[in-house]
Amino acid sequence: MLSVDDVEAARDRIDDVVRWTPLEYSHQFSEMTGADVHLKLETFQRTGAFKIRGATNRIATLDDRAREAGVVTASAGNHAQGVALAASRSGVDATIVMPEHAPISKVEATERYGGRTVLHGADYDEAQSKAHEIEREEGRTYVHAFDDEMVMAGQGTIGLEIVDDCPEVDTVVVPVGGGGLIAGIATAVKARKPDVRVIGVQAEGAASLPESVRTGHITELDAVNTIADGIATRKVGERPFEVIRERVDEVVTVDDEQIAVALTYLLERSKTLVEGAGAVPLAALLFDTFDYNEGETIVPALCGGNIDTNQLTTVLVRGLVETGRYLKIRTVLKDRPGALQDLVEIISAKRANIYAIQHDRTSRDVAMNEADVEIDIETRGHDHIGEVLDALRGAGYEVEVLA
């Protein structure tokens, strides 16, 4: 099984390629939770995620023949960029197979980091089969995203940095996809400080680990669905699972709304941009999915910041809705001059700001002398939303809350 010596050795191998990322005390989240919260900002890692740690360690342990033949992997996400940069920094040729529909931004980023991309297949599984075909045909080494001890050891260097920078740490909270990241971190942290708790977090729409831990056998999900695409994995790897069973104290889940709220808070209050998977550990803390004491030192590991800009817009709006800062309503007005103004005045009297109004007299959903109106409103929290809705309903409007 993976040992702390493997992780220590990885640190020596990768330290001229990989950044020692900052650990920052967060006043905001400490105040909100009563814990002493320090954020591990792996979002500032090269390529924007931790994957370069494991990939660099894996490539550094190749023999000369394997270096000459090059590496291959399949990924549509952070692992693609991590392997591309790790390989080019190590002078090794890398082929990355990505599904045909992979976002162009990710394909371009992988190429910019020096990887040769091959677009193949409708999904990750098909891309992976192609990568294994290339492995056989070209004699390249397949760099697995998580089910590989050298990869796990590289990811575990985050754990060494956490205990070095924050010796008073009580609890580390880590997102889990295939499990390589938490296996490495738990190995490092528990060896240095056996009493520190390591908590794994999965997204509800991709939560294979709780059942796997309960039954002692790896559970594979038929499908996954979450905004945290970095951890949208159907099952954990065998090697990580062995370590997780031994060294991870607890596994919890968070839903997409909770992830959206944590992501929004991180941006607003810590000026930190994370992707869905990066927000997962803070979501687990903010929504009390595990017990902790007042003043406990907790380190959520924010492991990636690569979010697509379109997805960011959607997630932020969801985050604003969940925190009561955005309200979308629908109502029906009499189609007469001044009807819209009357409605708007009630909203302004409550000091709520209107983002957008859609006023439709032609809608088939309303009578000929009526207009269908949808309004997007900026609000100041759930109580304020209650006030706005009470005022409208009190004035006789039938209001449907759309978001």
Ligand X SMILES: Cc1ncc(COP(=O)(O)O)c(C=O)c1O
Interacting positions 278-297 with ligand X (CB under 6 A): 278
CA dist 319 → 230, 238, 283, 322, 350 (Å): 19, 35, 12, 5, 22
User: In the block, which residue shows the tokens 């090697």?
Assistant: 239
Interacting positions 69-98 with ligand X (CB under 6 A): 77-79
Does 178 help bind ligand X (rule: CB under 6 A)? yes
Does 154 help bind ligand X (rule: CB under 6 A)? no
Which residues lie below 8 Å from residue 203, measured CB to CB, with a gap of 6+? 226, 227, 228, 231, 232, 253, 254, 255, 256, 259, 276, 277, 280
297: three-class secondary structure by DSSP? strand
Name which of 314 and 353 has its Cβ closer to ligand X: 314
**CA 46/CA 149 separation, integer angstroms:** 22
Candidates 150, 259, 303, 388; binder of ligand X (CB under 6 A) is 303
Label residues 332-368 b or e (16+ Cβ within 10 Å = b). bbebeeeebeebeeebeebebeeeeeeeeeeeeebee
Does 277 help bind ligand X (rule: CB under 6 A)? yes
Stretch that binds ligand X, among 207-215, 271-279, 340-348, 370-378 (CB under 6 A): 271-279
Does 153 help bind ligand X (rule: CB under 6 A)? no
Does 179 help bind ligand X (rule: CB under 6 A)? yes
User: In the block, which residue shows the tokens 């390629």?
Assistant: 17
Candidates 70, 154, 205, 304; binder of ligand X (CB under 6 A) is 304
Does 300 help bind ligand X (rule: CB under 6 A)? no
Does 99 help bind ligand X (rule: CB under 6 A)? no
Does 265 help bind ligand X (rule: CB under 6 A)? no
Does 181 help bind ligand X (rule: CB under 6 A)? yes
Phi and psi at residue 67, in whole multiples of 5°?
Answer: -60, -40
Stretch that binds ligand X, among 12-20, 22-30, 107-115, 272-280 (CB under 6 A): 272-280
Site string (204-233) toward ligand X, x via CB under 6 A: --------------------------xx-x
Element (H, E) at 36: strand 36-41
Name which of 79 and 384 has its Cβ closer to ligand X: 79
Site string (245-264) toward ligand X, x via CB under 6 A: --------------------
CB of 47 to ligand X, least distance (A): 10
User: In the block, which residue shows the tokens 């990887």?
Assistant: 115
CB of 195 to ligand X, least distance (A): 24
Name which of 230 and 319 has its Cβ closer to ligand X: 230
Q: Within the chain, how many helices (H) and strands (E) appear?
A: 16, 14
Q: Which residues pair with 39 in a beta bridge?
A: 24
Q: Which of 177, 164, 184, 187 is nearest to 55 (CA)?
A: 184
Interacting positions 37-56 with ligand X (CB under 6 A): 49
Name which of 121 and 177 has its Cβ closer to ligand X: 177
Amino acid (one-letter) located at 26:
S
Measured over the CA atoms of residue 116, residue 15, residue 300 and residue 150, the dihedral's sign is positive
Binding site for ligand X (CB under 6 A): 49, 77-79, 146, 175-182, 230-231, 233, 275, 277-278, 303-304
